[in-house]
Amino acid sequence: MEFNNIDWADSNIDRIEIEYDCAKLFVFNDTFQKQLIVKFNGFIGMTNLLIWDDQIIDYAEVHEIQDNNSTPFIQMLFATYDKDFNYGERWLNKGILEVQIHLVNHTFFSLYCQSIDITFD
């Protein structure tokens, strides 16, 4: 399943799990009427999560980072880590994806990773 081909509108974020190299988003998808598990492999970080009273997704999209200065997060990442260095068989030069999830409270947060897998729970 391709992330950008899924209708995320009116879906609910049930849970977020973050591990060293992986993050998982558990979402009840309104279109499918099923629980989806979105696994962010090569997890790099996350920004701006404001989920106090709204966990309903308005829309979501993923795109590949092309510019090392594209966002303050990416600027900080490359100021801290060398993209060509081997971090335990993990390399930043293998590509970075930014997933933006826009909530109905008019905020959004981003997850940064290297690949995405989506499965039904």
> 73-99: per-residue pLDDT in tens?
999 999 999 999 999 889 999 999 999
Buried b (16+ CB within 10 A) or exposed e, 62-73: beebeeeeeeeb
Whether the full predicted model's pTM is greater than 0.75, yes or no, is yes
The residue among 22, 17, 6, 98 whose CA lies nearest residue 57 is: 6
pLDDT at 50 (0 to 100):
87
Is the confidence at residue 54, as pLDDT, over 90?
no
